[in-house]
Amino acid sequence: MKDDACDIEEPDEEAVKEIRSKMLEDDIILKTTDGFKTISDPTRIKILYALSIKELCVCDLASLLDMSQSAISHQLRVLRDKNMVSFKKEGKMARYYLSDAHVLNFIYMGIEHAQE
């Protein structure tokens, strides 16, 4: 038998019952995994990190990441659709920013974990 396998074949019914009553709803689980999928792209993490420092327009992000404006716009659209970034128009310019502190926490927790 493997070292990582349990030798006891009967579950602790009390523990299972306790945890089952505290489990998250499936829709919350799906939204959470969807959020992780959204930020699983390195370009999106770079965009989110940059926006955690300062509001930027598409051309700023394109220059920063050495990418085309259309590629950046596509990634921003994905992030907007998931409510991770928002924008405000200033004349002809649209400045992007993080939608809320939760996005910032998501990024920083991931970075902190990666640096351990």
Q: How confident is the model at residue 93 (pLDDT cuts 50, 70, 90)?
A: confident
Cα–Cα distance for residue pair 26/45, rounded to 1 Å: 26
Is 19 contained in some domain?
no
Q: Which of 116, 115, 87, 109 is nearest to 36 (CA)?
A: 109
Is 92 contained in some domain?
yes
Q: How many domains does the chain have?
A: 1
Per-residue pLDDT, 98? 95
Is 108 contained in some domain?
yes
Q: How confident is the model at residue 95 (pLDDT cuts 50, 70, 90)?
A: very high
Q: Residue 56 above 70 pLDDT?
A: yes
Is 64 contained in some domain?
yes
Longest dimension (CA), the chain: 68
Q: 87 forms bridges with which residues in the sheet?
A: 96
Q: How confident is the model at residue 107 (pLDDT cuts 50, 70, 90)?
A: confident
Per-residue pLDDT, 19? 94
Is 63 contained in some domain?
yes
Q: What is the pLDDT of residues 14-30, one digit of tens each?
A: 999 999 999 999 999 99
Domain that holds residue 100: 45-116
Is 105 contained in some domain?
yes
Phi, psi angles (nearest 5°) of residue 98: -70, 140
Nearest-5° Cα angle at 83, 78 to 84? 75
Is 39 contained in some domain?
no
Q: 56 forms bridges with which residues in the sheet?
A: 96
pTM above 0.85, yes or no: no
Is 29 contained in some domain?
no
User: How much of the chain exceeds pLDDT 70, in percent?
Assistant: 98
Residue 110 is part of a domain; what is its CATH number? 1.10.10.10
